[in-house]
Amino acid sequence: MDAKRSISEKIRKSFLCITTAVMTLLSNPLMAQDWPTQPVSLIIPFSPGGSTDIIARVVGNKMAEVLGVSVVPENKGGAGGIIAANYLANAAKNGYTISLDHIGFAFNQSLIHGKRIPQKEIVPVAFIGSTPNVLVVPNSFPAKTLPEFIAFAKAHPNEINFGSGGVGSAGHLPMELLQSVTKTKMVHVPYKGSGPAITDLTSGRIQAMLMTIPAIMGAIKNNQVRAIATTGLKRPKAISDIPTFKEAGIDHFVYQPWYGIFAPKGTPQPVLDKLHAAVNQSISDPVVVAKLLEQGLATEKKTQQAFVDEVGSDTKEWGDIIGKLGLSAK
């Protein structure tokens, strides 16, 4: 009797599992068909005022028009983007919580080991664009050119404090690479976002930053800081009077961070497709393109798979660099 009851119980549990799986498969297309029906939370991994924040608000505002629902920006800064990534990884897989992140997402895979790394639970959705970084110093800093900056750093080891939006951020790792390439030694001062770091840069509390152009453009235009060199292959239109690192005498130092939209892994593909289409439509808008170009960001439409491949490629490439430099996040 007990054996029969046990078999019956197993059959019942199997039936329930199959029924649940079938209902899930059937509900995903239905959910995607209706999506979105409520506001979408757009997680920003850094504090207000930085490049990621600026780009997120420009793109998010247009996405709200395209989707017909509010897109609400939420800043969750700290730990070089890990806090926001953990939040996203644990969010409901329904398309109502997404994030706008940058190349730092690829860095963190190699910077921090252990359960705090949620990248495998997050999927790249849509590429937005890229921008070179620019090396900036306070107006009071003695160096006015890149060669002068390098010469000063060599003559005064560990006297240049450089800021960034956090350990592993888009402004941190390239400065570590620059020190390796130029055989200089500087001190890293991490912040919870580039906004607070810029405030300290303009006041002279720190002496340098390798910043994304959108984040620092306002300070450059207002003559609060001095731009020395940019990291792209060519001069960006937004600051065309500033030479590239190569033009200033440092070869093999090209760095152009990207930005894109991410979602929790397991979000139904039809919802991801709608998100991807909404982003592409948003960055095709002439007003959005102009606003971002003013900030030095060149928009570009890519397929979701192309973005997935790029994130994977950068994760490997920067993982190799991080390993060679012996870096890790504490």
Query: With contact defined as beta carbons under 8 Å apart, do 238 and 294 qualify?
Result: yes
pLDDT value of position 28: 52
Find the distance separating the first CA and the last CA of the chain, reported in whole Å: 60
Q: What is the pLDDT of residue 265?
A: 97
Please give the mean pLDDT across all residues of the chain: 89
pLDDT, average across residues 31-38: 87
Q: How confident is the model at residue 115 (pLDDT cuts 50, 70, 90)?
A: very low
User: pTM of the predicted model, to two decimals?
Assistant: 0.80
pLDDT of residue 122: 97
In the predicted structure, residue 15 carries a pLDDT above the cut 70:
no
Report percent pLDDT > 90 for the chain.
67
Q: Which residue has the higher pLDDT, 28 or 312?
A: 312
User: Rounded to whole angstroms, how far apart are CA atoms 285 and 138?
Assistant: 35
- Choose among 262, 293, 221: nearest CA to 44: 262
154-161 average pLDDT score: 98
pLDDT at 165: 82
pLDDT of amino acid 195 = 85
- Paired sense of beta strands 258-264 and 122-130, if any: antiparallel
Alpha carbons 88 and 82: distance in angstroms, whole number:
10
Residue 102: count other Cβ atoms within 10 Å of its Cβ: 25
111 pLDDT band, cuts 50/70/90, is confident
pLDDT band (50, 70, 90) for residue 193: confident
Res 114: pLDDT: 47
For 232-281, write each residue's pLDDT tens digit.
Answer: 989 998 899 999 999 999 988 889 999 999 999 999 999 999 999 999 99
What mean pLDDT comes out for the span 281-295?
95
pLDDT over 90 (residue 64): yes
pLDDT at 72: 98
pLDDT at 20 over 60: no
Number of residues that this document lists for the chain: 330
User: How far apart, in Å, are the Cα atoms of 214 and each of 147, 195, 217?
Assistant: 25, 11, 5
pLDDT band, residue 47 (cuts 50/70/90): confident
pLDDT at 53 over 80: yes
* Residue 16 scores a pLDDT above 70: no
pLDDT at 35 over 60: yes
Above pLDDT 70, what percent of the chain? 88
**Per-residue model confidence (pLDDT) at position 50:** 82
Q: At what angle do helices 304-325 and 104-111 cross, to 10 degrees?
A: 40
* Residues linked to residue 262 through DSSP beta bridges, in sequence order: 99, 124
Q: Is the per-residue pLDDT at 24 higher than 90?
A: no
H or E segment and range at residue 207: none
Greater pLDDT, 295 or 130: 130
Domains of the chain in sequence order: 38-129+257-325 (3.40.190.150), 133-239 (3.40.190.10)
Over residues 86-106, the pLDDT tens digits come to: 999 999 999 999 999 999 899
**What single-letter DSSP state applies at residue 106?**
H
